[in-house]
Structure 1
Amino acid sequence: MRLDIQRTTNPAIIKLEAPVILVKGSYQFTTEEQAENSPLAKELLAIPFIKTVFISANFIALEALPIVEWDDVAQEVALQVEAYLRRGAPILIDNIPEEAVPLRKIPVTIYVESTPNPMAMKFVANKKLVSRVYEYKSAQEAAESPLAAALFKFPYVKEVFFDSNYISVIRQPKILWEEVMMELREFIRQYLMAGKPVVRVIVEDGDRPKGLPTLNDIYSRKIIAILDQYIKPAVSSDGGNIQFVSYDKESQVVKVLMQGACNGCPSSKLTLKQGIEAILREKMKNERIVVEAIN
């Protein structure tokens, strides 16, 4: 498991962000006695310059004493935490006394954005939710995601899509967003404020996101690079995602998967031809390229 080192507005504090949910809730430790029920926090507080350890959802925040600069020690500390997590050692021990380690609600705001797909609505959070995309088309598929499973309990939810800091929800037909939008918004806000996990997935080093092909073809790698740079930011802003599936050298056909709000969107064909196909032809200098969606 690799941790991403992130700076904060406080120069004394850094965040070590994980690609998966680490804990349910939020915990703060300032002494080794407080950390009796958190072996990881206890180990970190034993480092002479660590003043405070804060563990929440998918990150560990560390406050250093003014005797050091994070530029000098952040990488070393991150490697130490990565090694700890790889060993499978516990982050928290069950039944942590509330008086010793207070559970804190996380401030969360959610705002709603419409998308080009009238069946999809985008719920944007003021915090990162996931490190890669997740798509669920049914409650059965959502076993790894407590939040998606909870959303499918609403009878009007048809599909759920997570990416970075937002959730795209596709509704069932014959339901108006005006009737359910605020209910979903408040439910998501309360869920995230409680520190509950979005997904529960263990991703080991070298694992690949579901559906992503193994690539040995340089041409395919170039196509993916173009999609990542020129296409994905635009479709992400509309609550969706486009994922490369395959490239056929003989037919020059590039197959992609439309996800989130892009799936079933009335303008998706226009996006394929005037957007993706046109950009790939220009950047690859190949007018024979044809883009097809597999869904």
Structure 2
Amino acid sequence: MLSSFTNAVRRVNPLQRVSPYFKTSSFIRSLFISIKETPNPDVQKFIPTPSMSILPPEFGHTMEFSNEKEARASPLASKLFEIPDIKSVLLGDTYICVTRNDGVEWEYLNPSVFHTVLDISYFFSTPDHQPVVLKPEEIPEDPNDIKEGDSEVICLIKELLNTRIRPRIKADGGDIFFNGFDVDKGEVQVRLTGACKGCSSSSVTLKQGVEQMMRHYIPEVKSVINVENDDTPEVRAAKEKAEKELQKDFEDELASAIADEMKKMKKSKNG
């Protein structure tokens, strides 16, 4: 995904004035927040400088929170969701992506986001040992990890995603996850998050970028499609099952109604 970035930098007071909980042997004078625009105008990328670890490595490359309930696992994301008109939050290793609701101006949101990001107590341990993300055992594993039992083709797909495709998409404030591979169709299913989710250029990225690269390196791949969280194979199967059950119920009720009507007509005729 190609984009041009514009930066906005804001200087704030020394860190010891931002949070009484900041403890480190290396004294940092000032903290800066860089804002990078992404290809999706509803998503902005906030990068603290000097660089500091936001999402611990044990939680993977990125973690997205789409609502307040999901954000309970992260004190930082939870605080960001207290800001009105925040639609989703994505935490990266050294950055944060914030998605706004439709019709909201960044000029209105940025001061509140700055204030929350600059609360250094959410980046470092507090006296209560409150980390950025809670309960690591409840966090799902990265779908892009190569697992025992993965076929050779799936291993190649995941390796290509992680080494060649994912870094480029992450640079624009998004992420891409392996969702499945249809052997018969040669179809790779992926899920886009962050700035790439809902972005008008995401289809171009998939077809002219991801799909071309996949087909070039892996002959078994014929196409790449994006599936939303509510459009996974499992969800589609459940929907199809529900539709079939509804259709059967309708047909049974129709047959019963026709039978009742025929009985009434026969009784009326005999009478």
Question: CA–CA distance in 2 between the matches of 1:142 and 1:212?
Answer: 22
Partner of 2:232: none
Shift of 1:212: 5.5
Partner of 1:294: 227
Partner of 2:249: none
Task: Verify: 1:187 aligned to 2:116, yes or no.
Answer: yes
Partner of 1:15: none
Which of 206, 225, 248 pairs up with 2:182? 248
Alpha-carbon contact 1:276-1:291 (below 8 Å) kept: yes
Partner of 1:129: 54
Alpha-carbon contact 2:90-2:97 (below 8 Å) kept: yes
Partner of 2:167: 233
Shift of 1:208: 5.8
Partner-residue secondary structure (3-state), 2:197:
coil
Which of 18, 32, 36 pairs up with 1:113? 36
Alpha-carbon contact 1:105-1:195 (below 8 Å) kept: no
Partner of 1:269: 203
Partner-residue secondary structure (3-state), 1:278:
helix
Partner-residue secondary structure (3-state), 2:199:
coil
Alpha-carbon contact 1:136-1:142 (below 8 Å) kept: yes
Q: What is the TM-score of this pair, normalised by structure 2?
A: 0.65
Partner-residue secondary structure (3-state), 1:264:
coil
Q: What letter corresponds to residue 67 of structure 2 in structure 1?
A: S
Partner of 1:161: 90
Partner of 1:145: 74
Alpha-carbon contact 2:177-2:192 (below 8 Å) kept: yes
Shift of 1:201: 2.8
Shift of 1:182: 3.2
Question: CA–CA distance in 2 between the matches of 1:25 and 1:188?
Answer: 15
Structure with a larger share of its residues in helix: 2
Corresponding pairs, count: 196
Q: What is the TM-score of this pair, normalised by structure 1?
A: 0.60
Task: Verify: 1:209 aligned to 2:141, yes or no.
Answer: yes
Question: CA–CA distance in 2 between the matches of 1:266 and 1:224?
Answer: 25
Structure with a larger share of its residues in strand: 1
Alpha-carbon contact 1:106-1:192 (below 8 Å) kept: no
Distance 1:229 1:119, change over 3 A: same
Alpha-carbon contact 2:90-2:98 (below 8 Å) kept: yes
Question: CA–CA distance in 1 between the matches of 2:31 and 2:84?
Answer: 25
The Cα offsets for residues 181-207 of structure 1, whole Å up to 9 and x where unpaired, read as 233123211245773532113349xx8
Alpha-carbon contact 1:145-1:199 (below 8 Å) kept: yes
Fraction of identical pairs, as percent = 29
Q: What letter corresponds to residue 111 of structure 1 in structure 2?
A: S
Partner-residue secondary structure (3-state), 2:79:
helix
Task: Verify: 1:178 aligned to 2:110, yes or no.
Answer: no
Partner of 2:263: none
Alpha-carbon contact 1:113-1:122 (below 8 Å) kept: yes
Structure 1: gaps (5+ residues): 1-23, 29-53, 55-60, 62-103
Alpha-carbon contact 1:108-1:127 (below 8 Å) kept: no
The Cα offsets for residues 231-264 of structure 1, whole Å up to 9 and x where unpaired, read as 1111111000001111111111100010111111
Question: CA–CA distance in 1 between the matches of 2:109 and 2:76?
Answer: 17
Alpha-carbon contact 1:245-1:255 (below 8 Å) kept: yes
Question: CA–CA distance in 2 between the matches of 1:194 and 1:146?
Answer: 10
